[in-house]
Structure 1
Amino acid sequence: MKMKDVQQYPDGYLSKMPGFQFSLLSLLFPLWAAAASLNDILITQFKSVFYLSDFASALVQSAFYGGYFLIAIPAALLIKKTSYKTAILSGLGFYIIGCTLFYPASNMATYSMFLVAIFVLAIGLSFLETSANTYSSLMGPRDKATLRLNISQTVYPIGSIIGVLLGKYLIFQNGASLKLQMSKMTPQAARDFGASALQHTLQPYKYLILILIVVFILFVITKFPKCKSQNVKGEVENKVSIPETLKYLAKNSNFKKGIIAQFIYVGMQTTVWSFTIRLALTLDKNISERSASTYMIYTFIAFFLGKFVANFLMNKFNATKVLFVYSIVGCLSLLYVTLSPNFTSVYAAIVASFLFGPCWATIYAKTLDSVKDKKYTETAGAIIVMAIVGGAFIPALQGLVSDSIGSMQLSFIVPTICFALVGIYFYSEMKRFNNDSQNN
């Protein structure tokens, strides 16, 4: 489909979905998923090499999602002043720089330098998510916005699986677990061994750099629709200030509920994925990090299937009703993870990831759609992305709980409570939908 055949409406939505542009945009989702899933590998690696507590190891996620939080508003301002495409190109640029910083980080072998590299990488991903999530929902008819974003998000787990495979075979090595190997060495030998292990952390990022350069070039040479709201004269509406937007959004209770739900959801998802490998290593002392990372592959396969099944169900039933049922079962799965005395709790964590599948995209699209005046769309989308900062706080909270009570497994009560709160949000949305349907 040629761009000249696509009509843009005043609210920024399109008459038809441009297939190639939408596909290229959706390619960004697995790209940032790969970076996020590599964090789960790094947390396990750094804990052993740097002798970190569970709380300190979770700072990987704090650096990562802290970058998201700080850059979301600047990314929205860039979109307002330029275009979604420019913001995406900026994000890809920072992503490349962040990956490149793993070269000095692996040579310096200091935890702080790795956190800097992860933070810069996250700046790029914040640009990408702030633009791509909103852009995906706008790139076609309005009534299919939620489905469109869920389709883009469906390929996210593919990137997650690729990230784990890169970590499994390029970062983790054969043999016993790092902790077991290092426990049998002298202090100096353990330090030298740890420094050698850190050299492997660079390997996945070399491949990511090559892929990112190709994608960057494709975006440069491809024409994309603006998808920005227009005033009555047909001019792009971009003169709304941030304070004015915040004042408008502060009066929108549905938007505020969505922000809180997204904060809790992202924190829950991140903390489960951050500690699944650690959970497996805790429950089975005889497996290595490489073997334990296989369960993360199962996790992301389940996540993918959960999205696919949810997309099917949401075509037949109300989306919030589907997600409410997902939340109930997910809460029970995480409760099992917390209380089960055996290795089956790892499989229950995988089941929970199946139920995570459609949550992010549905909360995002519904929260964004609650903003009726579309001249506030770019900043509203950025604020929803800022809610990703839940991934900086809740994993650290679970790490703190684990250190305090001395049980990684019992600390899963933290995401269990989070899923219950997300379920309450979907229940309230389901009730609101039913009331709106009755009124109409």
Structure 2
Amino acid sequence: MAMMQQSSTATGVGGEQENYRFALVSLTSLFFMWGFITCLNDILIPHLKAAFSLNYAEAMLIQFCFFGAYFLVSMPAGKLVRALGYQKGIVTGLLIAALGCALFYPAAALATYGLFLGALFVLASGITILQVAANPYVNALGSVETASSRLNLTQAFNALGTTVAPYFGAVLILSVAVEASESLTQAQAEAEVVKLPYLILASALGILALVFAKLNLPQIKEHCQSGEQGEVVHNGKTSALQSLHLVLGAVGIFVYVGAEVSIGSFLVNFLAQDDIAGLSEASAASYITYYWGGAMVGRFIGSAVMQKVPAGTVLGFNALMAALLVALAMTSTGTVAMWAILGVGLFNSIMFPTIFSLALRDLGPHTSQGSGVLCLAIVGGAILPLLQGVLADNIGIQQAFFLPIICYLFILFYGVKGSKF
């Protein structure tokens, strides 16, 4: 607690701004890494679906275990960050994520689906701690007025990770799986190829943990619980949950992540359909780059636009456009359907960081708790893709996309009105 109560080590306004800038530059590497790792799930799903002969609902257990960790770990992570501080919280998250990546090796060696799910849960637990620590930290490194713009800028590097990941996965996982040894069973051969990619990720995360342990990052005083006994009161509230804009923001995060992950999880199989594009898994995986690349471009654009236009207005517009594109993908075929669904990524771009920053507005010392609540809501990425998997098994992949449309309509409401409560 003592560490978190210290003021910034920078002296003067100029020194403080310079220290903040250094911290933001350092944090971009974290946003890149967890975007990269999360997007690899879109490659793992069709890969393990084929390896273990899974139906869509069973394959979506990958996302269920990964994003389910957010539900179980977010609130404890919020307490951990309050106790250790943002920087040590980030280091802890990196180490746990590295352990999760390393666990892919024994899971692949034994070719057991349940072990893959367990490794994903550990990996996601580390990512959850990173989210709880890094998002509010970025939000606090500057003025309230530019918080959404600032978080969108750093989240653009998260989208860069999701843009690069499909190529990485297509080359090192899907294409290698096709050439796997015929002497092995299908499950053994396809499980083996994930060893190297995840060992590389484990090493990278471990190195990042060492780097962040040594960095001299500014400490934020106003967003931390005081050491005094009793409840902390801010604007007449003793808990973040008493702020309606936070509660509605948590619902917004739930449906946004659910919609984004649902679409990303089904892209390979959707593009492989004969009446859409008829692509092979490896070819379809490379097209996911357009989906996540659009998110990266949109965040850079959104960061600039939100310097002039209110964040809620931009959020509402993007949600409307995303809903219209998903509806077009549902009701058309061929290249029109393919590019409509890929184009959703451009409008997804600013949603997560904008909802996050709007929901944390004016929480003061309850910010860490609010961040934990918002990260808990990321469990939408576990529940909604699983629900869409059940729908896809029963009514078809294309028709099941009506679920994300409902999600985007709520986000439209939050941007226009809900964020102002």
Give the TM-score, by structure 2 length: 0.91
- How far apart in 1 are the matches of 2:321 and 2:219? 40
Counterpart for residue 248 of structure 2? 257
How far the C-alpha of 1:193 sits from its partner, in A, is: 2.6
1:398 and 2:404 correspond: no
Counterpart for residue 105 of structure 1? 107
Conserved? CA contact 1:230–1:237, under 8 Å: no
Paired residues in the alignment total 410
Q: Percent identity?
A: 28
Corresponding residue to 2:302 among 306, 310, 332: 310
- How far apart in 1 are the matches of 2:95 and 2:60? 26
> Over aligned residues, Cα RMSD in angstroms?
2.7
Counterpart for residue 316 of structure 2? 324
- SS of 2:220's equivalent in the other structure is coil
- How far apart in 2 are the matches of 1:218 and 1:66? 29
Matches within 5 A, 1:18-417: 18-173=20-175, 192-229=185-222, 237-238=226-227, 248-283=239-274, 286-371=278-363, 374-405=364-395, 407-417=396-406
How far the C-alpha of 1:190 sits from its partner, in A, is: 10
How far the C-alpha of 1:16 sits from its partner, in A, is: 6.0
With over 3 angstroms needed to count, the CA separation of the structure-2 counterparts of 1:230 and 1:57, relative to structure 1, is closer
- How far apart in 2 are the matches of 1:368 and 1:168? 37
With over 3 angstroms needed to count, the CA separation of the structure-2 counterparts of 1:362 and 1:94, relative to structure 1, is same
- How far apart in 1 are the matches of 2:298 and 2:230? 39
Q: What amino acid is the match of 1:322?
A: V
Q: Which moved more, 1:202-211 or 1:105-114?
A: 202-211
Q: Which moved more, 1:248-257 or 1:327-336?
A: 248-257
How far the C-alpha of 1:247 sits from its partner, in A, is: 6.2
Conserved? CA contact 1:39–1:60, under 8 Å: yes
With over 3 angstroms needed to count, the CA separation of the structure-2 counterparts of 1:6 and 1:340, relative to structure 1, is farther
- How far apart in 1 are the matches of 2:267 and 2:233? 42
How far the C-alpha of 1:249 sits from its partner, in A, is: 3.1
Conserved? CA contact 2:74–2:375, under 8 Å: yes
How far the C-alpha of 1:213 sits from its partner, in A, is: 2.3
- How far apart in 2 are the matches of 1:243 and 1:57? 44
How far the C-alpha of 1:323 sits from its partner, in A, is: 1.7
With over 3 angstroms needed to count, the CA separation of the structure-2 counterparts of 1:79 and 1:129, relative to structure 1, is same
Q: Which runs of 4+ in 1 moved over 3 A?
A: 14-17, 238-247, 283-286
- SS of 1:77's equivalent in the other structure is helix
Counterpart for residue 4 of structure 1? 10
Q: What amino acid is the match of 1:4?
A: A
With over 3 angstroms needed to count, the CA separation of the structure-2 counterparts of 1:394 and 1:242, relative to structure 1, is farther
Counterpart for residue 420 of structure 1? 409
- How far apart in 2 are the matches of 1:421 and 1:210? 40
How far the C-alpha of 1:429 sits from its partner, in A, is: 4.3
Provide, for residues 213-251 of structure 1, a one-character-per-residue CA deviation record: whole Å limited to 9, x for no partner: 2211211111112213279xxxx6155889999963333
Conserved? CA contact 1:6–1:16, under 8 Å: no
- SS of 2:346's equivalent in the other structure is helix
Provide, for residues 30-73 of structure 1, a one-character-per-residue CA deviation record: whole Å limited to 9, x for no partner: 10111101100011111111111111111101100111221111
Provide, for residues 134-164 of structure 1, a one-character-per-residue CA deviation record: whole Å limited to 9, x for no partner: 0011112333222211111011111112221
How far the C-alpha of 1:336 sits from its partner, in A, is: 0.8
Conserved? CA contact 1:262–1:360, under 8 Å: yes
With over 3 angstroms needed to count, the CA separation of the structure-2 counterparts of 1:165 and 1:17, relative to structure 1, is same
With over 3 angstroms needed to count, the CA separation of the structure-2 counterparts of 1:175 and 1:345, relative to structure 1, is farther
- How far apart in 2 are the matches of 1:274 and 1:84? 31
- How far apart in 2 are the matches of 1:52 and 1:29? 31
How far the C-alpha of 1:363 sits from its partner, in A, is: 0.4
How far the C-alpha of 1:378 sits from its partner, in A, is: 0.8
- How far apart in 1 are the matches of 2:12 and 2:183? 61
How far the C-alpha of 1:383 sits from its partner, in A, is: 0.7
Conserved? CA contact 1:255–1:370, under 8 Å: no
- How far apart in 2 are the matches of 1:144 and 1:426? 16
- How far apart in 2 are the matches of 1:339 and 1:240? 59
